[in-house]
Chains A and B, each alone.
Chain A
């Protein structure tokens, strides 16, 4: 081996996924020969897992109203302390929104779904499947917060188990995000929102950095299914979701 010797910093960088492929291979070769270093790597991983255990619950807490309101306030520029600039700005936004159909709104919903997918599927820990009784509780809770009954589709036939769900503050109404995982660790998220009385749409697709989202409206609900996988496979799952949730 001609490469630089492996030090403590390399072990940290290895655990944190900060090494390029060549250096990673060097570290792995080193670990195979040095059990004490391999033990150190285990201990570092255990510490990261303990951190997730300590704080991941916060991700699923309902967001306090005041935090969503911070963002809403800006949207109502004729509010209390608004300046003229905000008013003009608001009129411009209002005017540009005027005449736009539901399509731009759906595209923005799809973009939100993609962003939320990337934000909340990065965790590499090993989450537990949601047990049946907890699933009922979760779905009831999300339905209450969305003020509309929702259902979690069963994607076992497609090879995905429900991992959990969370409520995210959306623009005008809250969004429910359900997360699924396959046996090999692939993640899917299904975003659901109340769409109001809008015409049904067919499947539409959007892609960003290797993650695709299929989105559609079925009566009162908008759905967006995101995943980093082959489009035809994701579409097949989207069809399965739609078939189960169709009223």
Chain B
């Protein structure tokens, strides 16, 4: 494998996390990662040496995701959280499910910016390039997205504890 191939291989776990946070569908997520790797190999000459490889790959993956999401939306209605299990767990596991469900409910625009900055720790500038929007848009969108996520999350936590109280 070339050095570029080696460099790509190391990115796979990061790409899988990003794809899963966008799709909440393990099979679809790995398809996206595979397509991203194939496209990156074909277009490696577009990658600037000393650029941020992770950010470049995230950009490719996000575009593939948007195309596919549009196609899927046309076919299914609301299949986004098909694989999300019911919230019956407790402690960290419950919070883990809550955050996944809450994130899955955000719009694509909101979800992607929260994930890129909050989870993947890209800079605002890198996120702006990856999402192909101006820097100011990233910042305002991020604030709205986090607010919405917080509201969804507090609803879920309340629902989970209400459920637990009922079970007791």
Contact = CB atoms under 8 A, between A and B. Distances in A.
B99 A169 contact: no
A233 interface: no
A116 B3 contact: no
Contact of A51 (B13, B16, B114): B114
Q: Chain B, interface size: which category?
A: 35 or more
B34 A48 contact: no
Contacts, number: 131
A155 B139 CA distance: 42
A50 B17 contact: no
Interface stretch (A5-13, A27-35, A141-149): A5-13
B165 interface: no
A63 B92 contact: no
Contact of B1 (A18, A44, A123, A171): A171
B88 interface: no
Interface stretch (B59-67, B73-81, B117-125): B117-125
Contact of A71 (B16, B21, B37, B121): B37
B86 interface: no
A97 B37 CA distance: 24
Given A8-B143, A111-B3, A54 B96 contact: yes
Given A54-B96, A93-B2, A16 B124 contact: yes
Contacts of B17: 55-56, 58-59
A9 B124 CA distance: 12
Contact of A13 (B13, B139, B140): B139
A68 B12 contact: yes
A46 to B, nearest CB: 9
A67 B143 contact: no
Contact of A119 (B10, B34, B114, B150): B10
B119 A52 contact: yes
The SS class assigned to the A binding surface is helix
Contacts of B153: 47, 50
Interface string B1-27: 111011111111110110011000000
B99 A74 contact: no
A218 B150 CA distance: 51
A84 interface: no
Nearest to A89: B2
A58 B146 contact: no
Contact of A48 (B6, B13, B118): B118
B12 A16 contact: no
Nearest to A17: B121
Contacts of A54: 21, 95-96, 99-100, 103
Contacts of B6: 108, 111-112, 170-171
Nearest to A54: B99
B7, B17, B95, B143 — which one has the most chain A CB atoms within 10 A of its CB? B17
B131 interface: no
B117 to A, nearest CB: 6
Interface string A103-114: 000001001100
B33 A53 contact: no
B9 to A, nearest CB: 4
B16 A63 contact: yes
B13 A74 contact: no
Which 7 A-B pairs have CB atoms at the shortest separation, nearest pair first? A171-B1, A54-B99, A169-B9, A51-B119, A58-B17, A71-B5, A59-B13
